[in-house]
């Protein structure tokens, strides 16, 4: 059963399609937190990195989208599963339910600060995951049961000034 989450008026794939433009992530640089639900235990290869075991639960991945197309392009890519795996998160996404993203438009690279914020609220940090280009312990976190998603979203909206973008329309 999926957790009850705050819903913005949007169409599938982060506002792509006929939904109102205001509900889609901006095509500008910014930081994001992906929220994923993994319903069962999983052991999978993460690129050439290593074999990783994941417990079921709610996961949060911190990232930045500073390149062409900004947040809109990056989040749609994650939601569609298009393209060859490039980032560590690309290897986990096919096995998880992508709930949505918390995002904030900002030209500065905020992902490490956001990862530190999530880390202080997480049950576990997946060491080395998504942090090969920085000194952070990791950018993927196990938050706990998926039933805590709505409370986490509300807290991030308040403390990080982030907006919630559901991956798919309700």
Annotate 117-152 with DSSP letters as a single string.
HHHTT-SEE-TTTT-TTSSSS-SEEEEE-GGGHHHH
pLDDT at 3: 43
Q: What pLDDT is recorded for position 169? A: 61
Mean pLDDT comparison of 10-14, 46-50, 79-83, 144-148, highest-scoring range: 144-148
pLDDT of residue 133: 84
Residue 1 above 50 pLDDT?
A: no
CA distance 148 to 30: 25
Alpha helix positions (H), the chain = 12-15, 70-80, 88-92, 111-119, 149-160
Does the pLDDT at position 12 exceed 60? no
What residues does each domain of the chain span? 12-21+29-166
pLDDT for 73: 93
- Alpha carbon distance 75, 32 (integer Å): 9
Contact 37, 3 (CB under 8 A): yes
How far is Cα 28 from Cα 71, in angstroms, rounded to an integer?
Answer: 6
Answer with the residue of higher pLDDT: 53 or 133: 53
> Helix crossing, 111-119 with 149-160: angle to 10°?
130
Most confident of the following: 20-24, 90-94, 128-132: 90-94
Residue 21 pLDDT greater than 70, yes or no: no
pLDDT at 50: 84
pLDDT in tens, 116-135: 999 999 999 999 888 888 99
d(CA 9, CA 127): 35
């Amino acid at each position: 059963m999926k957790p009850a989450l705050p819903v913005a008026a949007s169409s599938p794939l982060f506002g792509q399609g006929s939904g109102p433009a205001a509900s889609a992530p901006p095509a500008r640089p910014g930081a994001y937190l992906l929220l994923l639900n993994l319903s069962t235990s999983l052991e999978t290869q993460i690129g050439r990195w290593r074999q990783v075991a994941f417990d079921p639960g709610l996961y949060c991945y911190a990232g930045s989208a500073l390149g062409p197309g900004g947040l809109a392009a990056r989040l749609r890519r994650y939601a569609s599963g298009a393209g060859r795996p490039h980032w560590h998160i690309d290897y986990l996404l096919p096995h998880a339910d992508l709930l949505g993203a918390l995002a904030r438009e900002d030209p500065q690279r905020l992902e490490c600060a956001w990862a530190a914020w999530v880390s202080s609220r997480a049950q576990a940090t997946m060491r080395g995951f998504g942090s090969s280009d920085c000194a952070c312990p990791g950018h993927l976190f196990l938050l706990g049961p998926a039933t805590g998603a709505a409370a986490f979203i509300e807290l991030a909206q308040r403390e990080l000034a982030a907006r919630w973008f559901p991956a798919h329309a309700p």
